[in-house]
Amino acid sequence: MIIETAELFLDTKGFCDIHDLTPEARRFVRESGLLEGQLLVHVPGSTAGVTTIEYEPGVLSDLCRALAQIAPEDIPYEHDQAWGDGNGFSHVRAALMKPSLTVPVVGGELLLGTWQQIVLLDFDNRPRHRRVIFQVMGR
Amino acid sequence: MIIETAELFLDTKGFCDIHDLTPEARRFVRESGLLEGQLLVHVPGSTAGVTTIEYEPGVLSDLCRALAQIAPEDIPYEHDQAWGDGNGFSHVRAALMKPSLTVPVVGGELLLGTWQQIVLLDFDNRPRHRRVIFQVMGR
Amino acid sequence: MIIETAELFLDTKGFCDIHDLTPEARRFVRESGLLEGQLLVHVPGSTAGVTTIEYEPGVLSDLCRALAQIAPEDIPYEHDQAWGDGNGFSHVRAALMKPSLTVPVVGGELLLGTWQQIVLLDFDNRPRHRRVIFQVMGR
């Protein structure tokens, strides 16, 4: 049985800053020797999330606009009244998107569509140094 | 340790077309012999998603209406301006719903509620021939 | 290989009632002896969900308000017309949030941020006695 964990560090700008994690994810799966099983991608923290999307600037902007309608930056948040962080919108977006994603691996390959990339979404209201966790499990 | 992967192919109509995957998921779990562990359900592609819901026409329609408010068909998308696919709304809905779901298995049974089914949501703007991945891991 | 499953029962009030599951999740991981692998948290049922958020009353209220805009209580739902349950909004919110979440474990510890808690969200329109599933897999 193979279980391996790796960390990826990256600098983000916040405010719905989206990063393509697919090349690093593919490299990690290949180097792990995993043939059949799963890759878990996870971001510790309460103001970021992980999903898949076509990594194309237009649609990234479209996704950020939809999330900005669900949790706008310019409305009052109880979180901000209590803590003064000013990032209530970041927490709400992150809770909706959730911090982890599992993708199956078969024949040593991530089962992603051609136009489907694994992405980190940073919703915070300031630059962050983010730690992303990759973990494979299987054989 | 048991790891097994299967593919399910199905034809979809797009525009929030929702299919119940539970019978096939149950059959796959049973045939795999898995007693304790997890079923991963995953759809490759950037215009579809997987979740659970009560598979009842009224509430499926209610879910689609909510997603249509978040990402309406009839507003401009930067994705469409760049690529002319006309399915910017599909990508946004799919990124929000995410392509995979993990359900625990105990005693050989998926731990789902009585009114809880595993569903594929196809958000594309045209019919598709979809591949869904089932993968069990455990013992 | 370690696979262990546990149940947690808790009473909820519905209407976006959010419970912190982190202490019980941590205890279960520790008692399982898992050093490297994953914790799956799952709620059977179609009117509840699982995610992470900072467990602070202000931001919990902010999240519930955002979900109430996506699926308000006071609009008609086809589900309610068909079934008369009056909880169409609960089903829509639960399908959007999804019932499960996977968090990696390394060195025996859940990889969560300092301000990141694992929570159950109960969206039903009445008090419920909920069963939450914890499952560890790894070594």
Give residue B50's domain range: 2-138
Please count the structural domains in chain B.
Answer: 1
Cβ neighbours, 10 Å, residue B13: 12
For an interface test with C, which of A42, A85, A136 has the most C Cβ atoms less than 10 Å from its Cβ? A42
**Secondary structure of residue B113 in the 3-state scheme:** coil
Nearest to A95 among C53, C137, C138 (CB): C53
- A8 bridge partner residues: A132
Residue of A138, A125, A91, A112 lying closest to A20 (CA atoms):
A112
**Secondary structure of residue A44 in the 3-state scheme:** coil
Residues of C (36-55) whose Cβ lies below 8 Å from A: 36-38, 51-54
Q: Which pLDDT value is given to residue C84? A: 83
Chains that touch B (3 or more CB pairs under 8 A): A, C
In this structure, which amino acid lies at residue A124?
Answer: D
Greatest CA separation for chain B: 51
Compute the distance between CA of residue C109 and CA of residue C107 in angstroms, rounded to an integer: 5
Contacts of B114 (CB under 8 A, 6+ apart): none
Tell me the average pLDDT across C72-83. Answer: 93
**Set of chain B residues whose Cβ sits within 8 Å of the Cβ of A138:** 3, 137
Q: Is C94 on the interface with B (CB under 8 A)?
A: yes
Q: Which pLDDT value is given to residue C130? A: 98
Measured CA to CA in angstroms, residue B95 lies from A51, A52, B26 at distances of 6, 6, 26
Confidence check on the interface: ipTM exceeds 0.85, yes or no: yes
Q: Which pLDDT value is given to residue C20? A: 98
Q: Which pLDDT value is given to residue B83? A: 80
Segment-wise mean pLDDT, segments of 10 residues, chain B, 139 residues: 98 98 98 98 98 98 98 96 91 98 98 98 98 98
Dump pLDDT digits (tens) for A80-120: 998 888 999 999 999 999 999 999 999 999 999 999 999 99
**Set of chain A residues whose Cβ sits within 8 Å of the Cβ of C115:** 45-46
Its pTM surpasses 0.90: yes
For an interface test with A, which of B8, B100, B122, B132 has the most A Cβ atoms less than 10 Å from its Cβ? B100
Dump pLDDT digits (tens) for C109-122: 999 999 999 999 99
Decide if pLDDT at A13 tops 90. yes
Q: Cβ contact (<8 Å) for C77 and B66? A: no
User: The tokens of B131 are what?
Assistant: 């591949």
Q: Is A96 on the interface with C (CB under 8 A)?
A: yes
DSSP state of A73: T
What CATH code is carried by the domain that includes residue C100?
Answer: 2.60.120.460
Compute the distance between CA of residue A109 and CA of residue A107 in angstroms, rounded to an integer: 5
User: The tokens of C67 are what?
Assistant: 């979900």
Q: Is residue C3 part of a domain?
A: no
Contacts of A44 (CB under 8 A, 6+ apart): A99, A131, A133, C111, C112, C113, C116
H or E segment and range at residue C20: strand C17-20
Calculate how close chain A gets to B15, using CA atoms only, in Å.
17
Dump pLDDT digits (tens) for A39-71: 999 999 999 999 999 999 999 999 999 999 999
Q: Is residue C2 part of a domain?
A: no
Separation of first and last alpha carbons in chain C: 5
Phi and psi dihedrals of A13, rounded to 5?
-105, -10
